[in-house]
Chains A and B, each alone.
Chain A
């Protein structure tokens, strides 16, 4: 039942990155060739163009990181063409089409609020921090899921650099606000800028992660370049993209989707098959890339990370604090 073992993966369960990259290239080459045969030369080429990775800057890894064990990463093409990133468009494929609108240089992150060492950190300095790979399940509140090989660093260790004080009970994150360039921010579909928040103990949990890349390369715009949050046990909308501000606060911050529809999206947004969204069931989800008849899978409490994170919520009514 449990597919993921945090921190105790046997070396045999970890595929060497070069090996799997090579393996994937082989698979891709085979698929592209097959598609080329079916669709004729032009379409075959078009497919190969989005088949990445390979177009973005590589991120050198400092450690082995944590492998997902038996988790099989979703195709790069699917991870990068099926996104909810309203700043770049409201459809699933529009963020990839509009990704160029997101300028990731110059970029800095402002850390402020209840901490003794507030500051502004440049993205190039953030990329110099030790980077590791983590293969996590990613579950969207819309009942679809994928498996992503992220690159980045633990959020908690990053936050400690700024020395949050005892008054820091929550962390608030903010996405870039740039309506001149980001097409989705021209209309008030959400109350821009996008905001998210975590309780301090959630943010300090070793599974909480800041991603700078995926598949060994820097993040493409549609996936939240150059820096995004990844909270694998919560619904995807908690994993805020393209972060420009981190603030330590005393009171629970208001996250964007909670502000937009409080009865549908809570502050906690923990993956929970027993708490349905008012409009659809959360009992099962579809894993992307399995084809039309790929079927669905059972959704697990805390997205399968219950062993690691359930203690954060002991004694809490998960129906009330959804």
Chain B
């Protein structure tokens, strides 16, 4: 498992490496600040969905040790979310705190994005063994908020695009599939196939 952990850790750093390389070599296009914002945000969301795919993966393949990678993947989502927040605060809002707070309060897509980030902060802070022991049963309840964080992040994406909703809806589709795969097995089996498919599309 240690080997797996090292591999996943290094692979998870690749998006960061690509961003740093692009920035150093002026390969981020005409609007590099925007490119960094989009990249970091996309990777935060992707890692969140990858984290949420561990449980279905375990159920489908029986590879129980996969769960040992989950915390690291979740923390990578948090890491890229921090980058995304920093890019916004620094390059977009230029540390204008007043404008930043006004944005969070008045612009719905920023409000939900920020809420998602707050949840990730709480989950990251309590991701250690000490917190797990301290919180006991409440830990699980708290960490169920990860579903809300993912949904809010997708909503953040949906509300910020101008006209082409294709991309955020693909993320929403993946999220819905990951949720359906969590249904108790019997419940899924009892439903006719067509109905399940319909839900996926919705």
**Interface, chain A (partner B; CB < 8 A):** 35, 38-39, 74, 77-78, 81-82, 86, 90, 92-93, 142, 144, 146, 187, 189-190, 260, 278-281, 284, 286, 288-289, 291-296
Task: State the CA gap A86–B99 with chains docked (Å).
Answer: 31
A sample of 11 more A-B contacts (CB under 8 A), given A292-B33, A295-B94, is A78-B30, A81-B29, A82-B31, A92-B30, A144-B31, A187-B166, A280-B107, A289-B30, A292-B28, A292-B32, A292-B36
What is B's interface to A at a CB cutoff of 8 Å?
Answer: 23, 25-26, 28-34, 36, 91, 94, 99, 103, 107-109, 159-160, 162-164, 166
| Minimum CB–CB distance for A269 against chain B, Å | 14
Query: Would you mind naming 11 contact pairs between A and B with Cβ atoms under 8 Å apart?
Result: A38-B25, A82-B29, A90-B164, A90-B166, A92-B29, A189-B163, A280-B107, A286-B34, A291-B26, A292-B23, A292-B32
Collect the chain B residues with CB atoms within 8 Å of residue A142's CB.
162
The 3 closest A-B pairs by CB, nearest first: A82-B30, A78-B30, A90-B164
> Which applies to chain A's interface (DSSP): helix, strand, loop or mixed?
loop
Interchain CB contact under 8 A, B29 and A296: no
Residue of A278, A280, A292 ringed by the most chain B CB atoms within 10 A: A292
A288 in contact with B164 (CB, 8 Å): no
- Most chain A CB within a 10 A radius of its CB, from B26, B31, B32, B166: B31
Closest residue on chain B to residue A90 by CB atoms: B164
Q: A279-B107, A296-B94 are in contact. Are A288 and B31 (CB under 8 A)?
A: yes
Q: Who on chain B is nearest to A78 by CB?
A: B30
Q: Residues of B contacting A38 with CB < 8 Å?
A: 25
Partner of B163, one of A35, A90, A292: A90
Q: Contact at A288–B30, with CB atoms within 8 Å?
A: yes
Contact among A35, A189, A279, A292 with B91 in the assembled complex (CB-CB below 8 Å): A292
Q: How far is the CA of A97 from the CA of B107 in the complex (A)?
A: 33
CB distance from A44 to the nearest CB of B (A): 11
* Residues on the A chain within 8 Å of B23, using CB: 292
A278 to chain B: which residues have CB within 8 Å?
107
Alpha-carbon gap, A144 to B35, bound state (A): 13
Complex CA gap A90/B36 in Å reads: 18
Name the A residues within 8 Å of B94 (CB-CB).
Answer: 284, 295-296
**Cβ of B171 to closest chain A Cβ, rounded Å:** 16
| Structural contact, B29 and A39, CB atoms closer than 8 A | no
Q: Which of B99, B108, B160, B164 contacts A189 (CB 8 A)?
A: B164
A82 to B28, CA, bound (A): 11
User: Within the assembled complex, what's the spacing in Å between the Cα atoms of A291 and B32?
Assistant: 6
CA distance A105 to B31 in the complex (A): 32
A39 to B24, CA, bound (A): 11
Q: Which of B23, B26, B109 has the most CB of A within 10 A?
A: B26
Residues on B with C-beta less than 8 A from A289 are: 30
- A281 in contact with B159 (CB, 8 Å): no
Q: How far is the CB of A256 from chain B (nearest CB, A)?
A: 10
Are A81 and B30 in contact, CB atoms less than 8 angstroms apart? yes
Chain A residues, CB < 8 A from B108:
279
Is there an interface contact between A190 and B163, defined as CB atoms closer than 8 Å?
A: yes
**Nearest Cβ distance between residue B16 and chain A, in whole angstroms?**
15
| Cα separation A92 to B103 with both chains bound (whole Å) | 25
Q: How far is the CA of A109 from the CA of B160 in the complex (A)?
A: 36
Return the chain B residue nearest A289 by Cβ: B30
Chain A residues closer than 8 Å to B166, beta-carbon distance = 90, 187
Which chain B residues border A291 with CB–CB below 8 Å? 26, 32
**Are B31 and A92 touching (Cβ within 8 A)?**
yes
Residues of B within 8 A of A39 (CB): 25
**Complex Cα spacing A86 to B163, Å:** 10
Chain A nearest CB from B107 CB (Å) reads 6
Cα separation A38 to B22 with both chains bound (whole Å): 12
- Which B residue sits closest to A34, measured CB to CB? B26
Chain A neighbourhood of B28, CB < 8 A: 292
In angstroms, Cα B21 to Cα A38, docked, is 12
Pairwise interchain contact A286-B25, C-beta atoms closer than 8 A:
no
Closest to B93 in A: A281
Q: Specify the chain B residue showing the minimal Cβ separation from A184.
A: B164
Q: How far apart are A294's CB and chain B's nearest CB, in angstroms?
A: 8
Q: Is the CB of B29 within 8 A of A260?
A: no
Question: A296–B96 Cα gap in the complex (Å)?
Answer: 12
Report whether B164 and A279 are in contact in the complex, using a CB–CB cutoff of 8 Å: no
CA distance A187 to B169 in the complex (A): 15
CA distance A187 to B33 in the complex (A): 29
In Å, the complex CA distance between A295 and B30 comes to: 13
